[in-house]
Amino acid sequence: MASPDGFPASFYGEPGVLGMLSNGISAFLVLLQNFHTAHTGSAPAGVANILAGVHLILIGGVCQLFAGMLSFRKYDHLSGTAFIGYAALWGSYGATRIYFGASSEAPTIVPLPAQIMNNLSMSTNMTGNTSLEIPVCHVCLSIKETAIAGLIPYILLSFLLAFCSATVNYIMPFVFGAITATLVFEAVGLVASSWALVVSGILELLILIFAIYGSAALLSKGLTQRLVLKGFGTPLFNVLLLGTTNSGSAQRIGQEKKKNTKYAEPMAVGFFCDTVAPFIFAFYSFGYIKSFGVGVAWVSIITVAQLFSSYYAHLRQDCYHTTKFGLHATYWLIKAWGEFVVSALVLEDGKVASAREAMVGNWFFVMAGVVICIGSLNTDVLELIHNMLFVLLTLSTIPQIPLQGYYIFFGVACSLFTAASLYGTFSRLINTIAEKSLIPVGPQPISSEMLMKAFRCCRANQGDQEMLPQTDQGSDALFYISNGVAALSALHARSSSMNPTFLHLTVPWVLISGSIIQGYVSRLQVTGGGRFGSVIPTIYVAVWATWTWFRFSGILLQLSPEAAYGFTAGAIALLVINAFLMLIAAYRNLVLLFLTAVMEVVLVCFLLSTLQRLPYDFEIAMLAIFSIICIYGALASLVNCIFSHRLLPMGPPLIKEKVRQESVPELPCPVAYSRVTSGLMKIAGLLEEGQVCGIPTDTVYALAASCKNPQAIEKIYNIKDRPAEKPICICISNVEQLVAAKPPFSPLLWEFMRNVYPGGISCIVSKGDWLFKLGVGPAYDRVGTKESIMIRVPDHTVTGHLCDITGPLAITSANPSGEPDSTHHTMVINRLGHKIQGVLCDGDSNEVVASTVVNCLKIDEGTITIVREGCVPAVKVRQIFDRVKNNML
């Protein structure tokens, strides 16, 4: 379905409708339980709580997560962060309700055999009686304490979201503010009387009302393309968005190559998750939470949200944040399930301490944290401090620390990390909304030039620093990290293999990093577009899963010899498959080849272990070498990807692919490339001859015709099957061309244009004789309407140079009328190449939607109208106009 002006209506989808309704319905579900508890004096129990929890997970969690994902694709920083954050909140609160229901259904005393009591090593007076009073659901202990520990960080973060949303509109602040107040009284209601639940229920009713109104306003806006109901388009206050953009700050970061701006920035979500997880761990470390059975659900859910922040950083071609948030998610998930094992098995402190002393996997997190610190030297001070605190965090969980000081050190480190993450959430969110540095994050610690010079010293061949291909690089560092953690965690001596506590505690370390996180990495590799895709990480998922099942779980389950022979066959199969992986790695680089070669030896050790012939010392050496290769691979991949150059050597491919000389299929139209002057001149010549060509702009690709050739403009209508009543705009290179034509514009209109040009905004102004001076003379009757004309000044060097050569161009989006826009030159060639006379190729477009169209015909009356919302949000256009208008007063 296309909108009236031909713009695809699918781009106007409003995920905010789904997000706010998810919050409203979830609040309503909790409201019903709160009012029932206040009225009857008894809390819901059993199935009622379980069903409520399932609904909260599905509606408030899954549905709102989907809304957050759509918001990121819509380049909506605030909604993407808020909806994914609240999805984690409602999912965690739903899981807590399920725990409440399960614990109320469970009996409190069960008979246990004497053997199990001996295995648990629990002290009791056994005088012939083989039963013991213990909680059946030990993991369900400390439910209220865990819920309070989880709600407090969400209260702080929800307040920040409410504050930030006030700079965008005045509906979301009320929704998010009501959620903040509700969470306060929900936490109080867990420890106080029913009055807190009544207050919470009233606030939840307000959430529902605000959410319904906000959803109706957004839905009507999406359907009608205008603001029918008030609440969106005007911020509650815009003090934070006043001032001038700090362009120097915007270009400060050396790694900021051409990012994919089709997705919102996920940094705020990553810091959001880094606030919740350590806060819960701090409460656990200081003894407020006695069991981590419920805490593991809260941390696991927020970890999923952090993986989404890593994923969208990958889509934005931001390898640094892809690796950082992926590493943090791995760490939180492993620590959570490690503490869950301790809680679920009711392990004694002495056994836990002795088992942890043999574990060395945490040291890889320390080294990986240092690698991220090195990468953050190219960003800002906030990132560096945050990463240094993460290194402190990993040092606090070194298993060799005595248990008496282990949790105190960990709790203090978590507290510091939480404070830094909270500030990071606020600064990243405000700065991305404002698109300038309002909240200080500090300068770049070391200049990019100095860093590159330092890394060049590590190379033997100073001249071999070619550009990297932009495929697979963003996830390579995380691939090495996940394998390194798994390998170092799997390292153990012969004596440890017979320690059940050690085996239990090691399972999460190897399984989560080697299989679960590496499965996520394989998904990233698929989107990377590399030649071999996700083959290697996918196979290694199976390797580490099989390793965990046999080497750790298998011993605990006491597998039979017949089952062990099954693993022997599997080990042989993995050896053969890994040999092919070595061949694939030979096409990539030497580091990956060495990694797969060492993995082949490690798999030989695994095969020998299935035959009870394992040389433990040799296996320890191989796993240590494998981990060393992984840490170097992570460092080199991250540094090389950040700077887009091979600064740290990875080694050349051992096997170089021979380029086949194949006949290139004949293209339907001539093509030229924007990176060469001859290509630009070729397209300019075609336009001067009266031809129609596809050209890049700062938004999407466009069809262009010279205003000197009116017949060419008529061709555009036939090429696109565009209705004759739809006008075509003109494109010029800069505002100074307008100044030279001396149009009778008011000072307010001139100032507004200078603030929006060049950029993704098109202004509709009155027609006049000044167009002849601009160079539009012959095409005067064929562009715009009888009274008005739309003017574009793209923020694109190629388009600007083209207009300087040819004069004003008549342009419209390069797509058949009613179909989605073209975001790559191949789309223009495939869809319209047989109808046009040339295409200027420039790769991916900067946006996925066209420009925002603003009607300025009544600007002197103090009003503008958003005709079409495109790549620049309508709220931002109105903020610019309000600022200009206020400055003119």
pLDDT digits (tens, 9 = 90+) for 17-48: 899 999 999 999 999 888 888 888 777 778 88
Taking residues 491-507, report their average pLDDT: 80
Contact 701, 814 (CB under 8 A): yes
What is the structure's pLDDT at 111? Answer: 40
Give me the amino acid identity at 104: S
Q: Which two tokens stand for residue 392?
A: 């402190």
In the 8-state DSSP scheme, what is residue 416?
H
The secondary structure element, H or E, covering residue 199 is: helix 195-224
The string of DSSP codes covering 35-58 is: HHHHHHSS---THHHHHHHHHIII
Q: Is the pLDDT of residue 421 over 80?
A: yes
What pLDDT band is residue 664 in, cutting at 50, 70 and 90? low
Q: Where are the alpha helices (DSSP H) in 225-294?
A: 247-250, 267-285
Cα torsion through 599, 601, 604, 609, rounded to 10: -80
Range with the lowest mean pLDDT among 251-260, 515-524, 726-735? 251-260
The reply to whether omega before 778 is within 30° of 0 (cis) is: no
Distance CA 559, CA 566 (A): 11
The secondary structure element, H or E, covering residue 704 is: strand 702-706
**In this predicted model, which residue has the larger pLDDT, 169 or 386?**
386
Helix (H, G, I), strand (E, B) or coil at 520: helix
What is the structure's pLDDT at 190? Answer: 85
Q: pLDDT for 257-267, tens place per residue?
A: 334 446 778 99
Distance CA 501, CA 358 (A): 11
Who's near 680: CB < 8 A, 6+ residues apart?
Answer: 672, 674, 798, 801, 802, 805, 840
**In this predicted model, which residue has the larger pLDDT, 111 or 637?**
637
What pLDDT band is residue 234 in, cutting at 50, 70 and 90? low
Q: Is the pLDDT of residue 79 over 80?
A: yes
Contact 812, 730 (CB under 8 A): no
Contact 29, 58 (CB under 8 A): no
The percentage of residues in the chain with a pLDDT greater than 70, rounded to a whole number, is: 85
Distance CA 329, CA 302 (A): 9
Taking residues 421-436, report their average pLDDT: 87
What is the structure's pLDDT at 458? Answer: 61
Q: Is the pLDDT of residue 308 over 90?
A: yes
Distance CA 45, CA 55 (A): 15
**In this predicted model, which residue has the larger pLDDT, 63 or 660?**
63
Query: Would you mind telling me the total number of residues written for the chain in this entry?
Result: 889
Contact 785, 799 (CB under 8 A): no
What mean pLDDT is reported for the chain? Answer: 82
Q: Is the pLDDT of residue 182 over 90?
A: yes
What is the structure's pLDDT at 106? Answer: 43
Q: Is the pLDDT of residue 351 over 50?
A: yes
Q: Is the pLDDT of residue 232 over 80?
A: no
Distance CA 213, CA 804 (A): 49
Range with the lowest mean pLDDT among 234-248, 411-425, 725-739? 234-248
Q: pLDDT for 697-706, tens place per residue?
A: 988 899 999 9
**pTM for this one?**
0.76
Q: Is the pLDDT of residue 253 over 60?
A: no
What is the structure's pLDDT at 131? Answer: 39
What is the structure's pLDDT at 10? Answer: 35
Residue with tokens 């109080």: 188
Taking residues 825-850, report their average pLDDT: 87
In the 8-state DSSP scheme, what is residue 125?
-
Q: Which of 556, 796, 592 is nearest to 695 (CA)?
A: 796
Helix (H, G, I), strand (E, B) or coil at 151: helix
**Cα R_g (the chain), whole angstroms:** 31
Distance CA 885, CA 881 (A): 6
Helix (H, G, I), strand (E, B) or coil at 866: strand
What is the structure's pLDDT at 660? Answer: 54
Distance CA 622, CA 487 (A): 9
Number of H helices, E strands in the chain: 33, 10
Q: Is the pLDDT of residue 4 over 80?
A: no
**In this predicted model, which residue has the larger pLDDT, 12 or 599?**
599
Q: pLDDT for 751-794, tens place per residue?
A: 999 999 988 899 999 988 888 888 887 788 888 888 889 999 99
Q: pLDDT for 41-63, tens place per residue?
A: 777 778 888 898 999 999 999 99
Q: Is the pLDDT of residue 292 over 50?
A: yes
Distance CA 486, CA 474 (A): 20
What is the structure's pLDDT at 504? Answer: 85
Q: Which two tokens stand for residue 65?
A: 């997560």
Distance CA 272, CA 266 (A): 10
In the 8-state DSSP scheme, what is residue 844?
B
